Chains A and B, each alone.
Chain A
Amino acid sequence: MQLLLAILSGVLFAAGVFLILRRSLMRLVLGLIFIGHAANLVIFTAGGLKGAAPAIVAEGARQLEQPYADPLPQALILTAIVISFGLFAFFLVLIKRTYQASGLDDLDELDGRKG
């Protein structure tokens, strides 16, 4: 499972970097979203995959029962997802406005360089 997730996040990274290196604005956003997802997967994987029970103390028990999953990486990812949702919502509006203002979807032309 760990290996699978590691490969998956690697693939997401590669796809994200590939898309960022295109000149299209829309692909730039998609690439960044991929990289954001890859980052979340890395945290998830690095936090340790044990296939264990949730970290909830059972009824009547005084302690957590081993093995339990570490809830902190999940909390971190949840926070990161919420933040990136807000940021990407903003970024989408930004490129829409940029496209409306300039009529260009090409980063080089946007910069004043001919492609």
Chain B
Amino acid sequence: MNLLLVAPILIPLVAAVLSMLLRTSQRAQQSIAVIGGMGMLTSAISLLDAAADGSIQVLRLGDWPAPFGIVLVVDLFSALMLLLTAVIGLAVIVYSLAAIDLPRRRFGYFPLVHVLLMGVSGAFLTGDLFNLFVWFEVMLIASFVLLVLGGEQKQLQGAVKYVTLNLLASAMFLIGTGLLYGKTGTLNLASLAMLSGTDAENAALNVSAVLFLASFGIKAAVFPFFFWLPDSYHVPPVPVTALFSGLLTKVGIYALMRTFSMVFVHDTDFTRPLFVVLAAMTMITGVIGAVAQGEMRRLLSFHIVSQIGYALIGLAVFTPLALSGAIYFTLHVAIAKTALFLVAGYVLAVRGDTTLKNIGGLLRSAPLLTALFLLAAISLAGLPPFSGFFAKFALVKAGLDAGEFLLAAVALAVGVLTLFSMMKIWNEVFWKDDPNAPAGDASEASASSAAAARITPLTSSARLLYILPLACLVLLTVIMGIAAQGVFEWTDAAARQLLEPEQYIRAVLGGPQ
């Protein structure tokens, strides 16, 4: 019994309940939110510490033996994703202290964030497919409410699409699960992994594999299921978008990588070329959509899609290096992307607008923000020495090693377009002069005072709450770049555990160690 494994689920649950009970007191809600986030971070770090030596922690809930009861399993992949969840959760919670308005906080913003984090952690922890479905739903219902919290008309419109697509995806997941159970008689990942690879001509297994692919594909915004994402992600307040972009699509990617490297490996001659096409098309459509956008949050939303394509290279190439690179990339992109959304939130807070042509001149008025944006953007585009470079390097190298030259070329070309669209934000938002400042012969003093009038001043404590989490995330992407060797040791081991599930099966089902 290793009770530490329930901590990432239990801590946000307790925090959500407590902050519901104390909803009249803003101060109590805020302290609970921050303490809960820190508690999650602590538990995630200790779980990673336990998993770092390559061992797999298992908790049999209710002490039911493995294939019958539900198990929570932490291998390195899960531990890394949990740490990512905790880091992004805490960063967004701190940011929200300043960025979320009072009405939204009154209507339960912080409890919902905790419920969302609980759902995400549960999805990363569970070793059972139906339990994964349940955690998906926990996460989804929290995300639905977060998306519409505030009740603005455009939020409602975005939510209709988001909810519809996710309900469809859930129905497909459910059917896939049902067929899989009907065929194999188990939904435990370890027993499924043990049965996998035995029967390539199995229709029920293939149908459920395709249903899982579509369902997780919708959740991860994979081509051709991505269109709901840019349509709904820019409508809620920025911290919510940042949380979604950092975590929700990554849960889809996690589920894809988990199932298609451990369970559905019976016909890789069919799935690998399929993932090659999906990865390439996701990268291309995402980045082309991004280049065409004139609004910062929509642009970044399209980039989420494009980055999902990179993470799929892991399954498309399907070698240890590719999977390791994909895990590293998922960690990197969640952090860098969340940081970029937090920059957009700051811009929105001081300028009241994120349409590129309406704003400008932030280089002069907010130099620190500009520096942080530049670091995150360069990291996302994949320039050394940041984490994005090493992530893309591993993926491209894996592609070249496996002879997927076209895929590698697409990955590189999309990298260039990513850089281009980041430079577009840089030019429009930071570099060019503020278009609303009076031009021409107006005196310097009146120009700057007019520009200053459009800038909503932030109190110094609010600015600290905006900048601190942002700076921490940017620092993390820099550290991940500098210490890439150490991180890759973890992701290599995580990829090995996925590709050789014997250890996982032994840990969950017992048997000779």
Contacts and interface: CB of A to CB of B under 8 A. Distances in A.
Contacts of A36: 167, 171
Contact of B163 (A20, A73, A91, A102): A91
B174 A47 contact: no
Main SS class of interface, B: helix
A42 B153 CA distance: 37
A40 B181 CA distance: 13
B404 interface: no
A40 B148 contact: no
Given A25-B160, A107-B160, A47 B181 contact: yes
- Chain A residues touching B, range: 35 or more
Nearest to A91: B163
Contacts of B179: 42, 46
Contact of B177 (A25, A76, A107, A110): A76
Nearest to A34: B171
B151 A97 contact: yes
A101 B160 CA distance: 13
Contact of A28 (B133, B164, B175, B178): B164
Interface in A42-77: 42-48, 72-73, 76
B130 interface: yes
B347 to A, nearest CB: 25
A12 to B, nearest CB: 11
B181 A72 contact: yes
Interface in B167-183: 167-168, 170-172, 174-175, 177-179, 181-183
B137 interface: yes
Contacts of A80: 133, 174
A32 B153 CA distance: 22
Contacts of B177: 43, 76
Contacts of B167: 32, 35-36, 87, 91
B178 A73 contact: yes
Interface in B116-172: 130, 133-134, 137, 140-141, 144-145, 148, 151, 153, 156-157, 159-160, 163-164, 167-168, 170-172
Contact of A43 (B145, B181, B183, B204): B181
B141 A98 contact: no
A101 B178 CA distance: 39
A30 interface: no
B141 A101 contact: no
Contacts of B170: 84, 87
A39 B134 contact: no
Contacts of B164: 20, 28, 32
A81 B167 CA distance: 13
Interface residues of B, number: 31
A103 B294 CA distance: 29
A79 B157 contact: no
B168 A79 contact: no
A95 to B, nearest CB: 7
A18 interface: no
> Which interface residue of B134, B168, B171 has the most chain A CB atoms within 10 A?
B171
Given A76-B130, A79-B134, A43 B160 contact: no
Nearest to B172: A39
Contact of B160 (A35, A72, A98): A98
Interface in B331-381: none
A115 interface: no
Interface string B208-249: 000000000000000000000000000000000000000000
Given A35-B168, A46-B181, A76-B130, A101 B174 contact: no
Contact of B137 (A42, A87, A91, A101): A87
A94 B178 contact: no
A110 B144 CA distance: 19
Interface string B446-461: 0000000000000000
A79 B181 CA distance: 15
Nearest to B160: A98
Interface of B: 130, 133-134, 137, 140-141, 144-145, 148, 151, 153, 156-157, 159-160, 163-164, 167-168, 170-172, 174-175, 177-179, 181-183, 204
Given A43-B174, A43-B177, A46-B179, 4 more contacts: A43-B178, A47-B181, A86-B141, A90-B144
Q: Which 3 A-B pairs have the closest CB atoms?
A: A46-B182, A43-B178, A98-B156
Interface of A: 20, 25, 28, 32, 35-36, 38-40, 42-48, 72-73, 76, 79-80, 83-84, 86-87, 90-91, 94-95, 97-98, 101-102, 107, 110-111
28 contacts: A20-B168, A32-B167, A32-B171, A36-B171, A38-B171, A39-B178, A40-B174, A43-B177, A46-B178, A46-B181, A46-B182, A46-B183, A46-B204, A48-B182, A73-B182, A76-B177, A80-B174, A83-B134, A87-B137, A90-B163, A91-B163, A94-B148, A94-B156, A94-B163, A97-B148, A97-B156, A98-B157, A110-B157
